[in-house]
Amino acid sequence: MDILTPRQLFLLLVWSFLLLTVLLVYLSAAKTIRKRKQKRLIESKEACRLALFNYLRDDSAEFQYPGRRALSDLLLEYSNVLQDETMQIRMTALAKKHLTGWLKKELKSFSWSSRMNALYIIENIRLYHLLQEVKQLAGKRHLTNEEEAVISRILASSGDEGFLKQMINSSRHLSDFTIVSILQNCGPDHLRTFYQTYGDLPERLRYNLITLIGDLQLFEQKRLIEQLLMKGDEEEKLRSLKAAADMVLPVKPDIIEPFIYSPDWLERMMALKVIGSLRAEVFLEAAKDLLSDKEYMVRLEAAKTIFTFKNGKQLLEEVIHHSDDLFARDMALEWISKGGGRNESVRYNS
């Protein structure tokens, strides 16, 4: 390796210093420009904020277009707080008039943040005239999960037929929370189609459709819940038990009974939730037996279930005083303390 002469070393240091100086000047100038743009944007938004609100309330009011960035920001803000349908319609019409061309370009941008911003505007301001462009984006490869989620929500809330295919494709890798939040935007026709074709859907989508039954109290899906409790896979059975408990669904005792004695402690616990929601006295003795379960969470749910019955506190006190099982006595006392207020007169000898 050649050794630099003092002159060469000096020139290298000078050029390095000059390059760093230029870089610092550029970064400082860019920061200053960004601050000025941001300041102008804020000033522009504040200058027309009230005028825009008055226009949305009464379209005969005077309103001067403030620029696409200021308008899009303000409309997004208002879309989150204004519930009046007429004002929502005027927001959509105003955005359609001024933002359509820009949004089309943003959807084709190589910048992820630009595409996402455009999708959020389309979703929140309900610019469904851009559905074709949104579906074109959906057909691109290498979309991020965030893009797929917003696209799915747009198609769901718009009622577009393309939502069914989009949701089937996206559900394979979106989170459960995201899938349920998208499905909650569906109209009844989409949901009906999903449940009619339930057996042909991807696993993740099926599971979350069960969760949705409980969340939205879809009592018309009672038969599906009962079928899954009898013939579904392990995850379908657990989710169906939870949905039945959430809905207080009157499930036949012979369907619930196998879960009470299941080797899977989660199934035993979820069966107790159903029993507690229905206050099914036919299973009261079984619930008392499960106070002695080897799993703490099952014992806890058994005590909670017993306490929901009319004489539940009395039954737990009887367990405290008369049961030979230490686990059952401990749990009965713990739940009375939690659920019924601490009763200092209830004591037992261990």
Domain boundaries, the chain: 280-350
Phi, psi for 264 (deg, rounded to 5): -90, 115
- Quick check: 339 pLDDT over 70? no
Contact 191, 223 (CB under 8 A): no
pLDDT mean over 136-161: 91
pLDDT mean over 4-25: 79
- Quick check: 247 pLDDT over 90? yes
pLDDT confidence of residue 117: 94
Burial of 104 (0-12, 13-18, 19+ CB in 10 A): middle
What count of other Cβ atoms lies within 10 Å of the Cβ of residue 350?
5
Enter the DSSP assignment of 333. H
Alpha helices per DSSP H over the chain = 6-57, 68-79, 85-107, 112-125, 131-138, 145-158, 162-170, 176-183, 188-196, 203-215, 222-231, 234-247, 253-260, 265-278, 284-289, 296-308, 312-322, 326-339
Question: Over the chain, what is the mean pLDDT?
Answer: 87
- Quick check: 342 pLDDT over 60? no
What is this structure's pTM? 0.78
Q: Measuring CA to CA, which residue among 195, 266, 197 is closest to residue 234?
A: 266
pLDDT mean over 89-113: 93
Query: For the packed helices 85-107 and 131-138, what is the interaxial angle rounded to 10 degrees?
Result: 50
pLDDT tens, residue by residue, 259-291: 999 999 999 999 999 999 988 888 999 999 999
pLDDT mean over 318-339: 84
Query: For the packed helices 203-215 and 234-247, what is the interaxial angle rounded to 10 degrees?
Result: 10
**What are the CA-CA distances from residue 318 to residues 313, 323, 344 (Å)?**
9, 8, 15
pLDDT confidence of residue 349: 36
Percent of the chain at pLDDT above 70?
95
